[in-house]
């Protein structure tokens, strides 16, 4: 497959068309941003790590019956994916209170939530990705009722699969963000990435943060944390 024009450049990835209209190539960057682009930096090696971590986790999900966009890892930072139209929603799943939830609801970070919390944000950088509920999604026609049902079911199943996979590796899945896409025939599949950029991962015993919060909050050892996640997933912990 041949790489063609760049279709899009986001904060952490570029997307290219290919000679096959059903296939795109994503290229993961080392650039990091936080607080809706206000904080910018570089995490050396992040692109290659997130490419591997995301493909590894999506491979696991595929085996468990979740359709994903991954077609084939091409090299260190590039992967061929199914071409989709992204549903303009960020699905956030939370097991432990942290980040914006802790702040919004006055909860102590680290509080284990008695039941899973599922939130939607409208993907609109110019508005700062506002929190929306299902009636907003319906009124703004961001997804159909059946698409939303599918997205919620997949998201909760993904939480169960990933949580159970990560726990024996000493990683607590605190919260994470998912994005879904629609293929040309209207099928909903998991798209975007699952990586330390989009998940909160805490060490189970020390509660050390092994994710992008190290960058957001200037905690240091950012690269070490990304490498630690990769090595635990690949069995080298």
Kindly list the residues in this chain that would bind ligand UDP in the complex (CB under 6 A): 90, 92, 98-101, 129, 175-177, 198-200, 212
| Cβ–Cβ < 8 Å for 194, 103 | no
Which CB atom, from 188 or from 199, has the smaller least distance to ligand UDP?
199
| Cβ–Cβ < 8 Å for 15, 78 | no
Which CB atom, from 5 or from 38, has the smaller least distance to ligand UDP?
38
Rounded least distance, CB 153 to ligand UDP, Å = 19
Which CB atom, from 144 or from 227, has the smaller least distance to ligand UDP?
227
Rounded least distance, CB 60 to ligand UDP, Å = 18
DSSP secondary-structure letter at 198? T
Rounded least distance, CB 123 to ligand UDP, Å = 8
Q: What is the 3-state secondary structure (H, E, C) of 75-94?
A: CCCEEEEECCEECCEEEEEE
Which CB atom, from 99 or from 170, has the smaller least distance to ligand UDP?
99
Rounded least distance, CB 189 to ligand UDP, Å = 18
| Cβ–Cβ < 8 Å for 142, 87 | yes
Nearest to ligand UDP by Cβ — which residue? 99
* Separation of alpha carbons 151 and 148, rounded Å: 5
CA distances from 165 to 126, 134, 162, 168, 193 (A): 36, 30, 5, 7, 17
Which CB atom, from 73 or from 109, has the smaller least distance to ligand UDP?
109
| Cβ–Cβ < 8 Å for 6, 18 | no
Rounded least distance, CB 42 to ligand UDP, Å = 18
Radius of gyration of the chain (CA): 17
Rounded least distance, CB 185 to ligand UDP, Å = 28
How many CB atoms within 10 Å of residue 229? 24
Which CB atom, from 92 or from 148, has the smaller least distance to ligand UDP?
92
């Amino acid at each position: 497959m041949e790489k063609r024009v760049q279709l899009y450049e986001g904060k952490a990835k570029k997307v290219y068309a290919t000679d096959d209209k059903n296939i795109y190539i994503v290229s993961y960057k080392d650039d990091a941003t936080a607080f809706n682009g206000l904080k910018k930096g570089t995490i050396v090696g992040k692109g290659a790590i997130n490419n591997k971590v995301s493909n590894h986790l999506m491979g696991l999900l595929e085996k468990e019956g979740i359709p994903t966009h991954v077609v084939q890892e091409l090299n260190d930072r590039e992967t061929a994916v199914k071409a989709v139209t992204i549903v303009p929603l960020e699905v956030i799943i939370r097991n432990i209170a942290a980040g914006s939830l802790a702040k919004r609801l006055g909860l102590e970070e680290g509080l284990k939530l008695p039941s899973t919390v599922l939130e939607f944000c409208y993907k609109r950088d110019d508005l700062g990705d506002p929190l929306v509920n299902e009636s907003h999604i319906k009124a703004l026609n961001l997804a159909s009722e059946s698409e939303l049902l599918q997205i919620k079911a997949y998201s909760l199943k993904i939480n169960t699969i990933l949580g159970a996979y990560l726990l024996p590796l000493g990683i607590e899945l605190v919260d994470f963000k998912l994005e879904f896409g629609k293929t040309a025939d209207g099928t909903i599949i998991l798209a975007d990435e699952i990586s330390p950029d989009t998940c909160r991962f805490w060490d189970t015993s020390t509660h050390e943060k092994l994710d992008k919060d190290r960058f957001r909050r200037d905690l240091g050892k950012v690269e070490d944390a990304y490498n630690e996640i990769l090595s635990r997933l690949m069995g080298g912990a």
